Chain A
Amino acid sequence: MGLINKSRVKSPWIVHYCCGGCNGCDIELLACLTPLYDVERFGILNIGNPKHADILVVTGPVNHRNARVLRTLYDQMPNPKAVMAVGTCASSGGVFHNCYNVLGGIDKVVPVDVYIPGCAVRPEAIIDGVVLALDKLNLKKSTKVG
């Protein structure tokens, strides 16, 4: 178990779900993976399967339809896990606050560990957020899982 926890902190795998934003944050998240920012050098890997992931990265506000999808993704992830709300609308609803189909920030549906403000967020802010999420993950590990 010690080895697993050690590698989790050294190499967190993220799963990305786009709730209902404008794409701006999604493309900045993808930009993090590409040569200029290249988060893979820190061992951060974008993975499609929630069952393999440590950090759930969510962009965009929650709406009536995707709330269930988001909750399912969160429930499928193994403990310990962290959730990052990327962008202003994932944090609070942002510019879409008065849209009829928008419930608000993703904290209406899943517990959020790190809020990253910005519209659209900069890749540097996302990398900073992952580092903060790792601290949270480390804390959860020491309290929950032996």
Chain B
Amino acid sequence: MARVTFPFGPQHPVLPEAIQFQLTCEDEKVVEVLPVIGYMHRGIEKAAEKNPFPDNVFLCERVCGICSFIHGATYCQVIEKMMDIQIPPRAEYLRVLWSELSRMHSHLLWLGLLADSFGFESLFMQCWRAREKVLDVLEITSGQRVIQSAAVIGGVRRDVNEELSSSIGAILSEFKREWDAILPVFEKDYTIRIRTVGKGILPQDKAWKLGAVGPTLRGSGWDVDMRTTGYGAYSDLDFAPVVKSGGDSYARMICRAREVGTSYELVRQVLGKLPSGEIAVKVNGFPNGEAVVCTEQPRGELFYYAKGNGTAYLERLKIRTPTFQNIVPLLTMLPGCELADVPVIVMSIDPCIACAER
């Protein structure tokens, strides 16, 4: 049996982004995997030191276009923590609103891409059609479909009034109707089960040891969700993280699919409980000191560290993104699998290379 090494990426139909895996195969079996990264590296952390600190919100949003709002809001949180700014409760709730809408659109996008990776073309289309409803809500509330730029240091940029709130409710009801028809397909469909059950197993102890985060970790049976730490308005809201044991691609897929429902409920709760008042406070002075913030991004735990020195420019900004954490577990899932399962297993960690390489 001859060993053959060939590149998977950087330009590959199943990957929307550029990363390369060098797969060594014996016949159809993958025996070795080597990731080759750096195709998407820009140097955002260094560039953040060159911009005045309020401008970095826009740079951080562009770490990743899929979960852009959460990146922007986390950057705002870390600066607010450093400068000891208390943002109004209404702004906290609105941040949760946009974060959860981002999570819904990110998961729907991923579910569609997963369906596409094993050739279930019509399910891909259905997921993306439902996702357009979520994007409509994002657009009417923030003015943009994918990069919202709605968070600023000290609060949020836009308000959601009564009229807007009721039209969001109507669009979300339509979305829920579509989603209720799609969810059972992911849970029960024969083709999906055959392509995902038992593929790319990440055992429970290994998931923890290798530092997996987010749905990749929760799919291996760990109940870890940064939202339960109660940052922002999450402490007032009622929700439970979705956990599934099994550790295979199916478990990870089900985690994400059910999280769409959790996020939908959270958005409903936010709209019902939205406190009145201001949406932003004025920010004076410059950041000084250090701060760390962890938030939950659609792909897992997002970590921001910032160090200020009392000027308009930060001394250091460190971003650790969930995909970076999940690449190592991925390398243990791949050896031993069939070549045809590689796209599904690679997709199952929801890789966001723009995040990982920044």
Contacts and interface: CB of A to CB of B under 8 A. Distances in A.
Contact of A60 (B12, B40, B50, B59): B40
Interface string B106-140: 00010010000000000011001100100100000
A101 B129 CA distance: 36
Nearest to B19: A18
Interface string A4-46: 0000000000011111111111111011001110000000000
A111 interface: no
Contacts of B109: 27, 30
A95 B112 CA distance: 29
B220 to A, nearest CB: 26
A67 B309 CA distance: 36
A34 B43 contact: no
28 contacts: A17-B18, A19-B18, A19-B40, A20-B18, A20-B39, A20-B354, A21-B62, A22-B61, A22-B63, A22-B68, A22-B354, A23-B17, A24-B66, A24-B68, A25-B65, A26-B17, A27-B66, A28-B145, A31-B132, A31-B135, A34-B125, A35-B132, A36-B129, A47-B13, A48-B13, A66-B39, A69-B18, A120-B144
Contact of A102 (B16, B43, B50): B43
Given A18-B40, A23-B65, A65-B38, A99 B128 contact: no
Interface residues of A, number: 39
Interface string B329-340: 000000000000
A43 to B, nearest CB: 17
Contact of A66 (B18, B51, B58, B61): B18
A143 interface: no
Interface string A48-59: 101000000000
Nearest to B132: A36
A77 interface: no
B41 interface: yes
A61 B42 CA distance: 9
B43 A17 contact: no
A61 B16 CA distance: 15
User: Size band of the B side of the interface?
Assistant: 35 or more
A96 interface: yes
Contacts, number: 126
Contacts of B64: 22-23
Nearest to A48: B13
Interface of B: 10-13, 16-18, 38-44, 46-47, 50-51, 58-59, 61-66, 68, 109, 112, 124-125, 128-129, 132, 135, 144-147, 352, 354, 357
B41 A18 contact: no
Contacts of B43: 99-102
Contact of A20 (B40, B51, B58, B147): B40
Contacts of B39: 20, 63, 65-66, 69
A122 interface: yes
Contacts of B38: 65
A104 to B, nearest CB: 12
Nearest to A16: B16
Given A26-B65, A36-B128, A66-B18, 10 more contacts: A17-B18, A24-B65, A24-B146, A26-B17, A27-B16, A34-B129, A63-B41, A63-B42, A66-B10, A102-B42
Main SS of the interface on chain B? loop
B66 to A, nearest CB: 5
Contact of A23 (B51, B66, B144): B66
A24 B62 contact: yes
Contacts of B128: 30-31, 34-36
Contacts of B11: 15, 17, 48, 50, 69, 73
A12 B258 CA distance: 38
Contacts of A119: 62, 147
A66 B132 CA distance: 31
Interface in A103-129: 119-120, 122
Q: List the 6 closest pairs (A to B, CB-CB), nearest first.
A: A24-B65, A48-B13, A34-B128, A23-B65, A22-B65, A99-B43
A66 B129 CA distance: 32
Contacts of B124: 34
Contacts of A16: 16
B74 to A, nearest CB: 15
A98 interface: yes
Nearest to A100: B43
Contacts of B46: 99-100
